[in-house]
């Protein structure tokens, strides 16, 4: 059976498991190893990585891992914290990163 796997920090542990998804917890330093493990499993078709963990990988390395894997590699936005940017700011940041240009919405 094909599955969706979440890789998160330890503070998100109960959430995805309660929803019935497979979940791996990792540290920022161990995210590359966790990704290798998840992407090597032939049953995994979608891997979702907590955005906070990406500090442990370069953007190029993350893109390379996703390009070589036949499944879908997705970034889960970090949970909102006090003083964090609004949802629109987050969307603008994602668009700017994707197209390399600031778009006024």
Dihedral angle, C-alpha 42, 71, 7, 90, nearest 10 °: 180
pLDDT confidence of residue 29: 93
| Predicted model pTM | 0.72
Cβ pair 52, 27 in contact under 8 A: no
> What is the per-residue pLDDT across 7-60, written as a single tens digit (0 to 9) for each?
998 887 777 878 888 899 999 999 999 999 999 999 999 999 999 999 888 888
Conformation bin of residue 11: beta by default, left when phi > 0, alpha when psi is -120 to 50:
alpha
Q: Is residue 82 very low, low, confident or very high in pLDDT (cuts 50, 70, 90)?
A: very low
Domain ranges of the chain: 3-79
Architecture of the structural domain at 3-79:
3-Layer(aba) Sandwich (3.40)
Distance of alpha carbon 48 from alpha carbon 23, whole angstroms: 9
């Amino acid at each position: 059976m094909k599955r969706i796997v979440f890789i998160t920090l330890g503070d998100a542990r109960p959430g995805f498991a309660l929803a019935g998804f497979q979940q791996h917890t990792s540290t920022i330093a161990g995210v590359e190893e966790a990704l290798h493990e998840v992407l090597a499993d032939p049953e995994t078709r979608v891997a979702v990585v907590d955005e906070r963990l990406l500090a442990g990988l370069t953007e190029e390395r993350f893109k390379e891992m996703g390009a070589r894997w036949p499944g879908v590699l997705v970034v889960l936005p970090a949970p909102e914290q006090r003083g964090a940017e609004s949802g629109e700011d987050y969307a603008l940041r994602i668009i700017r990163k994707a197209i390399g240009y600031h778009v006024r919405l």
